[in-house]
């Protein structure tokens, strides 16, 4: 048995010999076989090489990597060099490689061909990869947007054509000297042979040095256009690996697969990074070493392809014995399997008090009332926990609290969703949760919403995010769990997200347009790639081949893809969010950062949950119920020697600070400064009854009201309806916008202006005589149209002005032709028009050259008599033209609705119910929580970002001060003293403890409080002190 | 460089054979400074000062860094921090960090120099060693070039019979009529970036160097290649060279940001200017030799008084936000009209700027709206071009302006009518070099593949094409 003779190998052997017993990687006695990857080595060109990976297999089937400690000899050493653990070809021929360790031995055939032909170093496949490996094109170095020191590269080589220009030709070809390669700046700078601000970045022993050097020596030429593209990398060993300490290690082998069907070993030039340096390290050659117990991934990058290998590092813990923790179902089974592997003991089941408080806080955001706590403690049933979970899941509070979690991420704030739209939007979210709408249907309804957000609240999602790029980012983060933002400007540094992907997702939203509260879907509009200018195919099309992009709303196709069973993201992302809400941490963490380099801590668990979610038809409540009924969720927060260091595998409950809203509500509940929630539903019932009575009486008055309204209208000689607006018909230049005949003109000719294909937008707020702006755009045409009613033929006078030029038609006959560019002057054009009796149609075309655009129009007089404004909505006025017996049921309903809203009392009652439903006193229940000092201090999000990280959960001095002597706490504890004054000195302790901590006070707590109350002269103040002290308990501020 | 290498070999030999080194006197600039420059100044130099230590000038070398240990103690190598650190065995202390140690021979040179009293043999203790290095010894050029390299400079002899082509460590003199190789003038700087003949055609001025490391301006006999005189060395490669219209002065500009002016008669330096903040790429003498204008990567043109190098004005027209001309553009070429005060400057961007130094000064060239006023008053004119790679050379003759675009197309404009006259195409090969022989109406350009192309400017016809450099033909 000949051992390798290099000093390094000997050193390694000596070193490993000194290691503790049980380092199996160097013990050869229990090795049954050695397995070498690849089983046959083919080196078919001058620049090829092959990484070897040697695995030992014991009799019991366990395997471990021994690549770095085996002996390797070639029968014919002339044919190839053994460089480290790689084979590098030298001469054509066939031979055998013998790999030995102890008594184990295996032979691998080696064939070397193609050594007679020179092989060009590839610029794209080798040089750029080498630069990435050395960090040259990192975002903080030459990959910065303007580069560094006058040398700019594309970040991580996403744009080889940019790199080609600056490396080969930049600065008058300054950086390369093919006739004296070592004199090239490209080498001298990173070698630090001349000053380099970036420091030493290259050693002559690096694989990158040889690549750069040889490429320059060969003339430093770019690849030919036909050079094959990389289509992906494959890594050996595949899948998840377990390393056992001490000594656990793994050599990786990375193959790149090219479009021409060829493969190349790129192990030496790929870039490696660890996701957790405390658990795992990796060197430049892809050699991974375990450091301590835990989980981490190694991320491997080659060009645009990123691949991750998950590792679990096992390490024996002294004295560890599995405790056979009970398992309520698959969740516990999978969680425990992981815990057992990592030698972590799960905690005990928590007690009733902690369970109760946890269940209420997690499911409703609120504390249980004193009565509820007493009842639960008194309940002897062994089903009481699951019964409580069911009750809470059915409650209104659950829906509202969980809706607020989504609302936080969907910009449901007053600025992004003004005029009450935020409240409507959150009501809609809460309703969806309450009726347990399947999550796929919810996503589809949200992502394809269109129309007026005051009647279709889901459309508010799009109105709140006006930019399609931001929509792409938000949607990806919410539903795909991916932060694609980076890919807006460059390919993602840790992931395979490319700019193509990014703009494909943006293209999904290219055809929606928002105007005030209305979201409409257009038939045209594209997104182009900012550098290639290619029109992007919307995301979902490539993934789901079928009909072309332009026939339907693109979002429908996207939603279809999103919710299809083939999309692994959808179910996983949502169950992971649910899990994180309940356990305080996601299986993938953070919850919106799914990527191969951020592996789930328990992949089997996540897979199982996602499968279950799909199996039950995306039933959200079912998943919450399952998790809450698991032993895992019901574990105590008390840590033990064998789980104290676990923060991510769910061995014990995570102690979490109450959220800002939960805390303010909890203080309100303990201090009795907010109404108990049970009383609320009774109030809602009462108000509803009042409303029913009032509606009844109003109903009888409706015919009279209608008659009065019609009379009022028929007394008018002339009146007009509200404006209808077409939106913009974008055009390449002004002249085209003038000459083109767009839909409204065509429909007018076809005599069906308001019945044709034009998607008119009602402009209820465009008042007569005022100036109104159109949304700014590139050149194009805008149409506005309305009807004018006259009781008899007569002459009407109008004043009109626009930016820029305009044309007008009355009943299809052109009455204005001023297409020249101009600024707005409200009375520039004075139109005198002869109206027939009845309804006439007036339409303007306003042509825009770009920049500001808008118009003003005023109906001045009818037959010389000035015209007064109408005090009923114009659309109703239009409707009132119809005889009462001709109304359709829908029209009747509309009129009745107008009637109801004209009654102040009824409006007030309706509003009161809505407010009560929104539980305005409760921050966890409100559609839009208050924004006050207290809430902000505790990390309340402003709802401006789709990132769950916007809610801050860390502790600050400000928080301590707020709780110790903030205004809110002070005022509320003082009021609370009044409430608790009614209890005697024994009962009061119990009342406060049950209310704040969901448990009875201990005898000594009871005693302390009684003593305090008895010995303090001012009982009121003493009571305030007691309440204050309880609020300041860690037990109160945290959930266990 | 070569000398240093030989020296090192000799020293190494003496170490090996045990002969006393003290017999050889160590010269600081020749023997020590190159080692410090190459191995130390990356971290302890002009760009960085790790450990609060910079050792790129002699004064700084004599000061201590943050450790307060004396870098050099004359006569006592063992007490000198520099010697201690380069010979340290512990990798965490040894310099250079994370790099190969200095060779035994290099360490010995430093030891001997300290032992011999750590003397300085340069001119200026406050200027960098790099700027005071003696001229480098250049090797002979390869007989044939393994791979194509770009031609960075071409120059017509005044009589139009010969064309000088910049090669690798050499200038190749070729017959202008058939491209035949007449002579190889060897042992010149690595890259030849610019060349000019003296008015009588007897002297050739050659400028170039090694990127990032060294620059040189040399005068030599254009026929024999003898009678060499190194007019100056630079800290980085020399990029621009211009001969005054009277033929008595020479101006050179370098990537080391300096502009230097010399007497042609004796090679004496007249003045140096250090006003640019980036590579100075190009230079030209104005009409009647009143000004020297220099274009730079710092987006400005400096107009200097030719007599003393003082600043006359700065032309900021390449970095103004003005209509279609907005942006900040490198300047790579500059030229003056022979018979009017007009200046032409160009580089990146989509037009050549045509302007006058006097007006640039009168209009307060630093005002933000200068370019707009200029344009309105007709003080700047714009000759548009569509080059994405930028203009690399400009030449003017009478009313004819020739602009060589990086793509390998020379565009000719009529200055008077401001019209584009015609294109001369180098057949899709990129170009960095171009020169005009006005008297015979011939234009020559060198491509990055080492080819020279000649055109007749009267007709626009291509006259000739030949390999400018001795490049090994590629195998089929």
Q: Please report the number of interchain residue pairs, chain A to chain B, with beta-carbon separation below 8 angstroms.
A: 89
Domain count, chain B: 2
pLDDT tens digit sequence for B370-389? 666 666 666 788 888 888 88
What stretch of H or E contains A216? Answer: helix A207-217
By CA distance, what is A203's nearest residue in B? Answer: B99
> Cis (ω within 30 of 0) for the bond into A12?
no
Task: Copy the structure tokens of residue B86.
Answer: 């380069």
Of B41, B42, B142, the CB nearest to A179: B142
* Nearest alpha carbon to residue A302 among A233, A208, A390: A233
Q: Are residues B120 and B166 in the same domain?
A: no
Kindly indicate the confidence band of residue B5, based on its pLDDT and cuts at 50, 70 and 90. very low
Q: Does the model's ipTM exceed the 0.95 cut?
A: no
* CB < 8 Å from B in window 119-158 of A: 150
B326: domain CATH number? 2.130.10.10
User: Quick check: B42 and A199 CB within 8 A?
Assistant: yes
Task: Name the A residues in 203-222 with CB < 8 Å from any B CB.
Answer: 203-204, 217-219
Q: Is residue B439 part of a domain?
A: yes
Contact A188 B239 (CB under 8 A): no
Is residue B144 domain-resident? no
Closest Cα in chain B to A191: B99
Q: Are residues B167 and B288 in the same domain?
A: yes
Give the residue from chain B lying closest to A197, CA to CA: B47
Where b means 16+ CB within 10 Å and e means fewer, A990-1018 reads bbbbbbbbbbbbeeebbeebeebbeeeee
CA distance A695 to A690: 9
- Same domain, residue pair B256 and B286: yes
In B, residues 343-372, which contact A (CB 8 Å cutoff)?
A: none
Give pLDDT, residue A22: 38
Nearest in space to A631 (alpha carbons), one of A321, A322, A1040, A333:
A333
B40 CB within 8 Å of a chain A CB: no
Residue B147 forms part of a structural domain:
no
Nearest CA to A506 among A471, A534, A550? A471
A185 vs B46, B211, B392: nearest CB? B211
Q: Would an 8 Å CB–CB cutoff place B148 in contact with chain A?
A: yes
Question: Would A1-119 and A228-316 be classified into the same CATH topology?
Answer: yes
**Whether residue B203 is found in the same domain as residue B249:** yes
pLDDT digits (tens, 9 = 90+) for B49-83: 888 888 888 999 988 888 888 899 989 999 999 99
Neighbours of B362 (CB within 10 A): 11
Closest residue by Cα to residue A515 from A782, A713, A320, A136: A782
Nearest-by-CA chain A residue for B153: A172
CB contact under 8 A, B211 and A177: yes
Mean pLDDT by 10 residues, chain A (1040 residues): 41 38 48 92 94 92 91 95 94 95 92 93 94 92 88 89 92 93 94 84 92 95 84 88 89 94 93 92 95 91 88 90 90 95 93 96 96 95 96 94 95 90 94 95 94 89 90 93 82 73 91 85 83 83 60 84 88 96 94 87 94 95 97 94 90 94 95 82 83 84 83 81 84 84 84 76 79 78 89 91 91 90 86 89 89 86 82 73 78 82 80 80 91 92 88 87 88 90 91 95 93 91 93 93
CB-CB under 8 Å, B389 with A179: no
Please tell me if residue B52 touches chain A, with a CB cutoff of 8 Å.
no
Across the interface, whether the CB atoms of B191 and A177 are under 8 A apart is answered yes
pLDDT of residue A325: 86
Residue extents of the structural domains in chain A: 1-119, 123-217, 228-316, 466-554, 717-869
Measured distance between the N- and C-terminal CA atoms of chain A, rounded to whole angstroms: 61
A14 and chain B: CB distance < 8 Å anywhere?
no
Identify whether residues B121 and B183 lie together within a single domain: no
pLDDT of residue A731: 80
**Res B444: pLDDT:** 97
End-to-end CA distance of chain B: 37
Which pLDDT does position B12 carry in this prediction?
41
The pLDDT of residue A16: 40
Radius of gyration of chain A (CA): 37
Q: What is the pLDDT of residues B184-205, one digit of tens each?
A: 999 999 999 999 999 999 999 9
Q: What does the pLDDT read at residue B375?
A: 66
Is residue A335 classed exposed, middle or buried when 0-12, 13-18 and 19+ CB atoms within 10 A define those classes?
A: buried
The strand pairing partners of A761, in sequence order, are: A725
Q: Give A880 to chain B, closest Cα distance, Å.
A: 57
Angstrom CA distances, B447 to A503, B157, B176, B406, B409, stand at: 40, 19, 16, 9, 10
Query: In the prediction, which pLDDT does B476 show?
Result: 44
d(CA B47, CA B60): 14
Query: Do B127 and B165 reside in the same domain of the chain?
Result: no
Q: Phi/psi class of residue B230: alpha, beta or left (left: φ > 0; alpha: ψ in -120 to 50)?
A: beta
Query: Do residues B300 and B398 both lie within one domain?
Result: yes
- pLDDT confidence tier of residue B316, bands split at 50, 70 and 90: confident
Question: Taking CB atoms and an 8 Å limit, are A179 and B146 in contact across chains?
Answer: yes
Chain B, nearest residue to A217 by Cα: B147
Beta bridge partners of B465: B453
Q: Are strands B171-175 and B351-355 parallel, antiparallel or unpaired?
A: unpaired
Question: How far does the CA of residue B41 sit from the closest CA of chain A (Å)?
Answer: 6
Buried b (16+ CB within 10 A) or exposed e, A520-531: bbeeeeebebee
Residues B109 and B173 placed together within one structural domain of the fold: no
At residue A845, the 3 state secondary structure works out as: strand
Q: Are residues B413 and B452 in the same domain?
A: yes
> What's the DSSP call for residue A966?
-
B188 and B121 belong to one structural domain:
no
Cα torsion through A566, A568, A570, A571, rounded to 10: 100
Q: Point out the residue among A169, A184, A193 whose CB comes nearest to the CB of B38.
A: A193
Residue A228, burial from CB neighbour count under 10 angstroms (0-12, 13-18, 19+): middle
Distance separating alpha carbons of residues A510 and A97, to the nearest angstrom: 59
2.60.120, 2.30.30, 1.25.40, 2.60.40: CATH of A717-869? 2.60.120
Residues facing A795 on adjacent strands: A834
Domain of B241, in residue numbers: 154-467
Instruction: Write down the CATH number for the domain with range A1-119.
Output: 2.60.40.1380
Residues of B (313-332) whose Cβ lies below 8 Å from A: 332
> A228-316 adopts what CATH topology?
Immunoglobulin-like (2.60.40)
With CB atoms and an 8 Å threshold, state whether B279 touches A179: no
Interchain contact, B168 vs A179, CB within 8 Å: yes
């Amino acid at each position: 048995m000949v051992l390798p003779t290099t000093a390094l190998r000997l050193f390694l052997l000596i070193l490993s010999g000194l290691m503790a017993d049980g380092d199996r990687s160097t013990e050869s006695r229990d090795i049954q076989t050695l397995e070498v990857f690849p089983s046959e080595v083919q080196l078919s060109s001058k620049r090829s090489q092959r990484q070897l990976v040697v695995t030992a297999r014991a009799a019991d089937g366990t395997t471990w990597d021994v690549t770095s400690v085996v002996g390797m000899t070639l029968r014919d050493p002339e044919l190839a060099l053994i460089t480290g653990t790689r084979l590098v070809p030298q001469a054509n021929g066939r031979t055998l490689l013998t790999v030995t360790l102890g008594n184990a031995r295996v032979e691998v055939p080696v064939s070397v061909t193609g050594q007679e032909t020179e092989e060009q170093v590839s610029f794209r496949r080798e040089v750029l990869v080498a630069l990435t490996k050395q960090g040259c094109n990192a975002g903080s170095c030459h990959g910065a947007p303007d580069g560094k020191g006058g040398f700019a590269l594309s970040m991580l080589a996403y744009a080889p054509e940019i790199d080609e220009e600056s490396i080969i030709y930049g600065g008058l070809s300054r950086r390369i000297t093919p006739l004296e390669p070592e004199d090239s700046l490209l080498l001298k700078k990173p070698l630090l042979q001349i000053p380099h601000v970036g420091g030493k970045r290259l050693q002559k022993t690096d694989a990158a040095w040889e690549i750069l050097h040889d490429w320059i020596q060969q003339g430093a030429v770019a690849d030919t256009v036909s050079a094959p593209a990389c289509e992906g990398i494959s890594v050996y060993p595949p899948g998840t690996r377990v390393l056992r300490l001490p000594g656990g290690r793994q050599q990786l082998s990375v193959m790149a697969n090219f479009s021409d069907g060829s493969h190349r070993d790129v192990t030496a030039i790929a870039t490696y990074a660890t996701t957790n340096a405390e658990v795992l390290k990796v060197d430049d050659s892809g050699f991974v070493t375990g450091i301590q117990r835990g989980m981490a991934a190694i991320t491997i990058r080659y060009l645009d392809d990123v691949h991750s290998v998950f590792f679990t590092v096992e390490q024996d813990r002294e004295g560890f014995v599995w405790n056979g923790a009970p398992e309520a179902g698959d969740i516990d089974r999978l969680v425990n399997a992981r815990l057992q592997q990592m030698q972590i003991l799960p905690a005990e089941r928590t007690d009733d008090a902690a369970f109760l408080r946890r269940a209420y806080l997690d499911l409703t955001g609120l504390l249980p009332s004193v009565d509820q706590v007493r009842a639960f403690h008194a309940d002897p049933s062994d089903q009481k926990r699951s019964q409580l979970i069911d009750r809470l899941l059915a409650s209104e509070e659950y829906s509202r609290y969980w809706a607020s979690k989504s609302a936080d991420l969907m910009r449901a704030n007053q600025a992004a969703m003004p005029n009450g739209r935020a409240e409507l939007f959150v009501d809609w979210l809460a309703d969806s949760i309450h009726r347990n709408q399947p999550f796929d249907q919810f996503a589809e309804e949200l992502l394809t919403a269109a129309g007026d957000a005051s009647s279709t609240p889901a459309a508010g999602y799009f109105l709140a995010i006006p930019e399609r790029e931001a929509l792409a980012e938000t949607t990806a983060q919410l539903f795909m769990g991916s932060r694609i933002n980076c890919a807006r400007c460059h390919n993602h540094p840790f992931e395979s997200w490319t700019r193509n992907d990014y703009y494909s997702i943006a293209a999904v939203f290219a055809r929606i347009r928002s105007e005030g509260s209305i979201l409409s879907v257009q038939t045209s509009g594209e997104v182009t790639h900012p550098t290639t200018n290619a029109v992007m195919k919307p995301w979902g099309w490539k993934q789901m081949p079928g009909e072309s992009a332009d026939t339907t709303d693109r979002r429908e196709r996207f939603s279809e893809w999103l919710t299809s069973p083939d999309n692994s993201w959808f179910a996983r992302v949502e169950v992971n969010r649910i899990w994180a809400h309940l356990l305080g941490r996601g299986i993938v963490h953070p919850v919106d950062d799914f990527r191969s380099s951020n592996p789930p801590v328990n992949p089997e668990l996540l897979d199982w949950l996602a499968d279950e979610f799909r199996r039950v038809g995306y039933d959200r409540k079912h998943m919450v119920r399952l998790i809450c009924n698991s032993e895992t969720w019901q574990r105590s927060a008390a840590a033990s020697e064998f789980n104290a260091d676990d923060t991510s595998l769910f061995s014990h409950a995570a102690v979490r600070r109450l959220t800002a809203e939960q805390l303010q509500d909890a203080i309100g509940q303990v201090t009795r400064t907010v109404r108990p929630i049970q009383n609320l539903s009774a109030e809602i019932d009462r108000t509803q009854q009042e409303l029913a009575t009032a509606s009844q009486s109003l109903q009888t008055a409706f015919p009279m009201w209608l008659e009065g309204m019609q009379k009022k209208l028929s007394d008018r000689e002339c009146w007009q309806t509200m404006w209808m607006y077409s939106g913009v018909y974008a055009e390449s230049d002004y002249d085209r916008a003038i000459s083109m005949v767009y839909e409204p003109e065509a429909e007018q000719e076809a005599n069906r202006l308001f019945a044709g294909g034009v998607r008119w937008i009602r402009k209820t707020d465009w008042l007569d005589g005022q100036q109104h702006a159109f949304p700014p755009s590139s050149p194009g045409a805008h149409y506005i149209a309305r009807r004018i009613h006259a009781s008899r033929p007569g002459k009407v006078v109008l004043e009109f002005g626009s930016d820029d030029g305009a044309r007008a038609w009355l009943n299809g006959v052109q009455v204005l032709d001023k297409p020249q560019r101009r600024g707005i002057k409200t009375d520039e054009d004075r139109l005198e028009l002869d109206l027939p009796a009845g309804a006439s149609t007036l339409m303007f075309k306003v042509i825009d050259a770009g920049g500001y655009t808008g118009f003003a129009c005023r109906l001045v007089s009818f037959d010389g008599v000035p015209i007064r404004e109408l005090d009923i909505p114009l659309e109703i006025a239009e409707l009132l033209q119809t005889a009462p017996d001709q109304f359709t049921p829908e029209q009747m309903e509309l009129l009745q609705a107008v009637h109801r809203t004209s009654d102040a009392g009824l409006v007030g009652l309706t509003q009161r119910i809505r407010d009560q439903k929104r539980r305005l006193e409760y921050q966890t229940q409100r559609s839009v929580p208050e924004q006050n000092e207290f809430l902000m201090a505790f990390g309340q999000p402003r709802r401006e970002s789709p990132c769950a990280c916007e809610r801050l959960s860390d502790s600050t001095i400000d928080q301590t001060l707020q709780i110790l002597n903030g205004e809110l706490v002070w005022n509320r504890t003082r009021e609370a003293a009044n409430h608790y004054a009614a209890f005697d000195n024994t009962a009061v302790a119990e009342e406060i403890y049950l209310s704040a901590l969901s448990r009875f006070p201990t005898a000594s707590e009871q005693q302390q409080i009684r003593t305090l109350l008895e010995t303090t002269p001012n009982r009121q103040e003493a009571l305030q002190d007691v309440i204050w002290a309880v609020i300041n308990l860690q037990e109160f501020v945290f959930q266990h | 460089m070569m000398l240093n290498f030989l020296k090192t070999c000799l020293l190494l030999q003496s170490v090996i054979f045990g002969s006393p080194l003290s017999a050889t006197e160590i010269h600081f600039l020749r023997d020590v400074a190159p080692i410090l420059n190459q191995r130390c100044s990356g971290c302890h130099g002009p760009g960085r000062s790790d450990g609060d230590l910079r050792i790129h000038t002699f004064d700084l070398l004599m000061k201590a860094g943050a450790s307060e240990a004396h870098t050099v103690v004359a006569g006592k190598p063992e007490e000198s921090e520099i010697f201690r650190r380069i010979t340290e065995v512990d990798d965490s202390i040894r310099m250079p960090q994370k790099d190969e140690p200095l060779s035994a021979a290099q360490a010995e040179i430093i030891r001997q120099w300290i032992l011999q009293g750590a003397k300085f043999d340069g001119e200026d203790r406050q200027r960098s060693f790099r700027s005071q290095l003696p001229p480098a010894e250049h090797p002979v050029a390869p007989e044939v070039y393994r791979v194509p390299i770009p031609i960075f400079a071409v120059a017509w002899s005044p009589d139009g019979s010969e064309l000088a082509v910049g090669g690798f460590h050499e200038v190749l003199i070729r017959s202008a009529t058939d491209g035949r190789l007449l002579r190889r003038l060897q042992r010149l700087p690595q890259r030849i970036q610019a060349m000019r003949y003296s008015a009588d055609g007897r002297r050739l001025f050659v400028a170039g160097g090694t990127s990032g490391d060294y620059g040189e301006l040399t005068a030599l006999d254009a026929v024999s290649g003898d009678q060499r005189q190194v007019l100056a060395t630079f800290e980085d490669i020399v990029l621009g060279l211009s001969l005054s219209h009277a033929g008595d002065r020479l101006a050179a500009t370098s990537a080391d940001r300096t502009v230097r002016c010399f007497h042609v008669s004796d090679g004496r330096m007249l003045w140096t200017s250090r006003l640019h903040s980036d590579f100075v790429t190009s230079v030209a003498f104005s009409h009647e030799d009143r000004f020297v204008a220099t274009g730079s990567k710092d987006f400005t043109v400096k107009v200097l008084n030719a007599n003393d190098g003082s600043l006359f004005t700065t032309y900021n027209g390449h970095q103004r936000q003005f209509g279609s001309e907005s942006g900040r553009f490198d300047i790579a070429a500059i030229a003056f009209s022979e018979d009017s005060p007009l200046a032409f400057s160009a580089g990146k961007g989509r037009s050549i700027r045509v302007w006058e130094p006097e007006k640039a000064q009168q209009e307060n060239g630093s005002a933000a709206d200068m370019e707009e006023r200029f344009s309105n008053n007709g003080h700047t004119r714009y000759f548009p071009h569509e080059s994405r790679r930028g203009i690399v050379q400009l030449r003017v003759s009478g009313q004819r302006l020739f602009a060589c675009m990086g793509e390998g197309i020379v565009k000719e404009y009529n200055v008077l009518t401001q019209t584009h006259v015609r294109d001369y195409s180098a057949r899709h090969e990129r170009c960095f070099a171009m020169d005009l022989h006005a008297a015979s109406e011939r234009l020559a350009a060198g491509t990055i593949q080492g080819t020279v192309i000649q055109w007749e400017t009267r007709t626009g016809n291509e006259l000739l094409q030949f390999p400018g450099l001795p490049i090994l033909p590629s195998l089929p």
